[in-house]
Amino acid sequence: MNNLIVIALFCIAASAYGRPSELLTCSDRLKLLETSKPLLGRPTPKCDESGEYAPVQCQGSQCTCVESKWGNQISEEYTMNRWETQGMKCNCARDQYAYRATGKLGLSFRCTQNGNYHPIQCIGSVCYCADENGLQGENSPTVGIWETEKLKC
């Protein structure tokens, strides 16, 4: 009888949340955390204005780039110490993640360790100075991939 009660309570709790916690949007996860018992060390996600996961999520002393819909870590490659994250925007890491999810090939992304775009980006054998979104600067010259040292980004 006790086992039946435990199973029933588990089912009620599971249906109250609707889906596993790893599949919660940021705004839904925040609502769940607000109504649940606080636990020491449980991370609180940062959401953007639209209720999706902010690009950088931190737990303890580590911060990482995450994708916006479910907050999954993009890659351990884009993980840094919390005290090194000033200016960490993860634009490149997120664009690279979204492009790879399409299954297409051909674009190459040059990201820094913090997930931002490297100042020099290349398409094919042509390189240029890029802004924080990976786009070519208005007055940026293009050079061959073999002469990137000529770029002063």
CB distance 93 to 75 below 8 Å: yes
In 77-142, where do the E strands start and end? Answer: 79-81, 120-123, 126-129
pLDDT digits (tens, 9 = 90+) for 76-123: 999 999 999 999 999 999 999 999 999 998 889 999 999 999 999 999
- Structural tokens at position 64: 């990482």
Q: Over the Cα atoms of the chain, what is R_g? A: 21
- Structural tokens at position 29: 């996860």
- Report pTM: 0.78
Output the CA torsion sign for 107, 110, 114, 117: negative
- Structural tokens at position 13: 């709790």
Domains defined along the chain, listed by start: 22-105 (4.10.800.10), 119-153 (no CATH)
Q: Where are the alpha helices (DSSP H) in the chain?
A: 2-17, 26-35, 91-101
pLDDT digits (tens, 9 = 90+) for 59-82: 999 999 999 999 999 999 999 999
